[in-house]
Structure 1
Amino acid sequence: MALTTRRSRLSTALRYALLVAVALVFVFPIVFMVMSSLKPDLQLLRDTTSFNAFLPVGDISLDNYFAAFRRAPVALFVFNSILVTSITVAVSLFLCSMAAFSFVFLNWKGRDVVLAAVIATLIVPFETIAIPLLLVVNNLPWIGPNGLTTGWLNTYHVQIVPWIADALTIFLFVQYFKDLPKDLVEAARIDGATWFQVYARVIVPISGPVIATAAILKFLAMYNQYLWPLMVTQSEAFRPVMVGLQYFFQLNVAWGEVMAYLSLITLPVLVFYLALQRAFIASIASTGIKG
């Protein structure tokens, strides 16, 4: 009995040691980034040859952060990215989950063909459609505060509308919905619920894990966008954080300022991930479905 207990403790210790080692691999780049943002350039470059790169040693200050705000409108870039990303994620989750619901629970002609065509778009690289898409949005009308205008360049909606539906998000919802018991849908329909009521009151409340997963993937994809915003936002007022990064590589490159800027724009990603992680765990704990 004592031998079994000792082996169990050793196995648990090894498991946690492995998990800590894996976590450190992912944490070290973030620690390096933050520590480097607090050091002057000469010390930053010198410390990269030793473990001091991960330690708050030497001349530590917030000067790089103040310099980053002087060099570029950092707060504006972060606001633009959060606004565009949040709206896109919210609308995308709603539309893609409804599309997946129709693919899984509704019977209509050509359903499987349409789903296959949607999934097939995953193999089409964005670079192949970037120029045609740019030509399209440059000639589309839009009704806004200034009335009817033509052309979407230098706006928020040109960064949102093309990405509110994508094949990967639809595929994630389809695969999750296929594993849900059909008895729930049939019971709701027998009770007189409409299809939208089934979607909103039966399927969505038990889809927390896939919603959290799709939200994280969509958030990262939108927040890290560079090519498309660079093509459609010539005005500084609408540029997101990744396009704003080029401000720090003009003329003299100050690596401390670059690290400070990267630290600032990484913070919203970490906050979003931690919030979704809690929601993901809570949704799993509160979901009890028997097939």
Structure 2
Amino acid sequence: MAAIDPSNHGLRLATRYAVLTLIAIIFIFPLVFMVMSSFKPDLQLLRDTGSFRAFLPVGDLSMNNYTAAFDRAPVATFVFNSVLVTGLTVLLCLFFCSLAAFSFVFLNWTGRNIALSIIIATLIVPFETIAIPLLLLVSKLPWIGGEGLEWGWLNSYRVQIIPWIADGLTIFLFVQYFKDLPRELIEASRVEGASWWQIYVKVVMPLSGPVLATAAILKFLVMYNQYLWPLIVVQEESYRPVMVGLQYFFQLNIAWGEVMAYLTLITVPVLAFYLVLQKAFIASIASTGVKG
């Protein structure tokens, strides 16, 4: 067997890290530009965009844009609404979609292949084609609230959450992942007398860390960036999410420094969520395994 040349191995490793570092820098540049611009007055911000100074903390830096952003719009309310709606939707979506995928993969029932095909086919249906029918539906649905029976879901959190707690892509991801799990585990659990619910909770889901993290990140990005649906169904300011709140900064006179400050503030939850899920994803891969 030929010996591995340490010098060539080191060169390949250095080249790989150099390429990855360059890609990371390219992707992080827009974030650096956004953060640096949020501390600059508008004239300086626009002047610096023509040079590398746009990525540097130089010039007249202050927190004035952040103060003005909070004065112009209820930023904290918008961020809270988006985090609440997105967080609940992600949790409910992971639960219901994983249950559906479990039934498609491990349970035998008539018509499951047809049902799965229909669910996957919904991926090619654009949201704009169902927006108006869905709006007419949710505007007439009943709800039992603090004041008793209510009609219509408009101007509420539930209208932003319930229609999105299941989707074809997430179910498809779980189905593909569950198909790769060892069938011997399921059969052994059934022989030992475990119910299907116990198998789902104690066998399948503990092994599903990677797909849970992947589906959560994808669903989080979709929900956090929701604009059209909240714009249609939410008219009260107290329920509006961050993307709808962005239009406050493009009314009358546009202050680009305030826009950058607002974008920086609403990006923080996204980065925090990604970092948490990244750690969970790595930990789940390290701990997932089947012992012989």
Q: 2:196 aligned with 1:200, yes or no?
A: no
**Runs (5+) with no aligned partner, structure 1:** none
Q: Deviations over 1:180-230 (max 9, x none)?
A: 000001111111110000000000001000000000000000000000000
Name 1:121's counterpart in structure 2. 122
Offset at 1:2? 10
In structure 2, C-alpha distance between the alignment counterparts of 1:156 and 1:16, rounded to whole Å: 45
Name 1:164's counterpart in structure 2. 165
Identity %: 72
Q: 2:220 aligned with 1:219, yes or no?
A: yes
Q: Deviations over 1:126-168 (max 9, x none)?
A: 0000000000000111101111010110000000000000000
Give TM-score, length-normalised by structure 2: 0.98
In structure 2, C-alpha distance between the alignment counterparts of 1:287 and 1:158, rounded to whole Å: 37
SS of the residue 2:181 aligns to: coil
In structure 2, C-alpha distance between the alignment counterparts of 1:3 and 1:40, rounded to whole Å: 57
Name 1:16's counterpart in structure 2. 17
Name 1:42's counterpart in structure 2. 43
Offset at 1:17? 0.3
SS of the residue 1:148 aligns to: strand
How do residues 38-117 of structure 1 correspond to structure 2 at under 5 angstroms? 38-117=39-118
Offset at 1:6? 1.2
Q: Deviations over 1:80-110 (max 9, x none)?
A: 0000001100011000000000000000000
SS of the residue 1:143 aligns to: strand
Amino acid at match of 1:187: A
Name 2:135's counterpart in structure 1. 134
In structure 2, C-alpha distance between the alignment counterparts of 1:283 and 1:218, rounded to whole Å: 19
Q: Deviations over 1:209-266 (max 9, x none)?
A: 0000000000000000000000000000100000000000000000000000000000
In structure 2, C-alpha distance between the alignment counterparts of 1:190 and 1:100, rounded to whole Å: 22
Offset at 1:289? 2.6
In structure 1, C-alpha distance between the alignment counterparts of 2:238 and 2:280, rounded to whole Å: 33
Give aligned pairs, total: 291
In structure 2, C-alpha distance between the alignment counterparts of 1:130 and 1:222, rounded to whole Å: 15
SS of the residue 1:149 aligns to: strand
Offset at 1:288? 1.3
How do residues 17-32 of structure 1 correspond to structure 2 at under 5 angstroms? 17-32=18-33
SS of the residue 1:142 aligns to: strand
Amino acid at match of 2:204: I
Amino acid at match of 1:57: V
In structure 1, C-alpha distance between the alignment counterparts of 2:18 and 2:73, rounded to whole Å: 42
SS of the residue 1:84 aligns to: helix
Give TM-score, length-normalised by structure 1: 0.98
How do residues 230-269 of structure 1 correspond to structure 2 at under 5 angstroms? 230-269=231-270
How do residues 140-159 of structure 1 correspond to structure 2 at under 5 angstroms? 140-159=141-160
- Quote the RMSD (CA, aligned, Å): 1.2
In structure 1, C-alpha distance between the alignment counterparts of 2:12 and 2:84, rounded to whole Å: 46
In structure 2, C-alpha distance between the alignment counterparts of 1:42 and 1:255, rounded to whole Å: 9
Name 1:178's counterpart in structure 2. 179
**Runs (5+) with no aligned partner, structure 2:** none
Amino acid at match of 1:238: Y
